[in-house]
Amino acid sequence: MRSLVGPLLRPILRAVDRYKLPDDAKKEVARDAQGLPTTDPGIDLVVREAIGWICRAQDNSPNHDGGVARHYSLIGGWGRSYPETTGYIVPTLLEYARRTGDEDVRARARRMLDWFLEIRFPDGGFQGGLIGAEPRVPVTFNTGQILMGLAAGVREFGDEYRPAMLKAADWLRDTQDADGCWRKHPTPFAAPGEKAYETHVAWGLLEAERVESGRGYGAAALANVAWAVTKQEPNGWLADCCLSHPMTPLTHTLGYALRGTVETFLYSRDERWLSAAERLARGLAGATDSGGRLPGQLDRYWRPAATWVCLTGSAQVAHSLLLLYRETGESLYFEKGRALNRYVRCTVRVEGPDEIRGGVKGSFPVDGAYGAFQYLNWAPKFLIDSCWTEEELVGAKHERELPEQTRRGSA
């Protein structure tokens, strides 16, 4: 019915829908309608509050299984545990524990790892979707993300998690097609078809390779990235790089593809992957304005295809740009990476109710199409990681630019 309604009636229907919203959702819509807040709370405070939000998301999952709730919704409350993103949250929590000595956060990461041992399939794969979603089948992408957590678990805690890591990595290696693409075990929760953003699965295999070399994990990762870059156009844009809109991909899935390609270069030091990453990075940087606003979807000419910002994608792109700056010294990456991080930080509340304090919305404004009215568990993870890299690079840059006498005096 609604698809038949003319464009003149659609704003009226949206207004009716908003009238039905809970009060908290209405308030957040009104708050975001005032524009991006001008105050950046700063890296330290945002990281601390974001970690706190992730911990509360673990505690408030209705499953109470050790996994992290997928989201907090201003409409429906806390979502169920989400294996995929809990997988790559683990390394961030372990890094935070190492930096701060926070044993509670370290223990939380271990509970997540123990949960993975409970929910894995006998063949080594992991399910797509939330706990309780149907059909429950092993999925390539989700397995690759959990593999990152398992590899971090082996490095941190030892051999307890090694068998699960090896079985997951073996499964990914053995289910890969000859051309490097994974087609046999797609998620049932996205549109069908090849996915160039599965370079982020390749990154999971590279983490396993770093822990246990000689089993072909690195070669499988390189094969996937070699396949993915065949989808790249001269201006850097990637075809087949979205959950459901391949002609106007999300910055989130473009961010996945970019990071997987960057990590492949960092592993191999092969300039082919650096060139591919830079082509994609320049397109994304060019679509980002000086204030750090990056539209949530982009077309093949890097033109906006959305009026809202995908905050997850912005943080992911920021991190990859900063990593590329570290490798190349290209100032554009440094400037745009910092601007993107600041934009996302400005949206983070560092006061207020536990459900939203330290959380990162799916979209800005909150009623944008990606994760509408939700605070997503993977968004703060990517922001934390990116903020840490920004902090390190700013410190290193400041040290390089100090006069020699000042450096000696501070020694």
Q: Do residues 282 and 333 lie in contact, with contact meaning Cβ atoms separated by under 8 Å?
A: no
Residue range(s) defining the domain that contains residue 295: 2-410
Q: Which distant-in-sequence residues (6+ apart) come within 8 Å of 281 by Cβ?
A: 236, 258, 317, 320, 321, 324, 333
Domain count, the chain: 1
| pTM of this structure | 0.94
Amino acid found at 309: V
Instruction: Give the Å distances, CA to CA, from 336 to 84, 330, 393.
Output: 28, 11, 13
CATH number of the CATH domain containing 53: 1.50.10.10
Q: Residue 300 corresponds to which tokens in the numbers above?
A: 């093949």
Mark out the alpha helices in 185-330 (DSSP H runs). Answer: 199-211, 217-228, 251-268, 271-286, 311-328
Q: Residue 111 corresponds to which tokens in the numbers above?
A: 């509970």
pLDDT tens for each residue of the chain, 411 residues long: 334 444 443 453 455 466 689 999 999 999 999 999 999 999 999 999 999 999 999 999 999 999 999 999 999 999 999 999 999 999 999 999 999 999 999 999 999 999 999 999 999 999 999 999 999 999 999 999 999 999 999 999 999 999 999 999 999 999 999 999 999 999 999 999 999 999 999 999 999 999 999 999 999 999 999 999 999 999 999 999 999 999 999 999 999 999 999 999 999 999 999 999 999 999 999 999 999 999 999 999 999 999 999 999 999 999 999 999 999 999 999 999 999 999 999 999 999 999 999 999 999 999 999 999 999 999 999 999 999 999 999 988 767 775 655 444 443
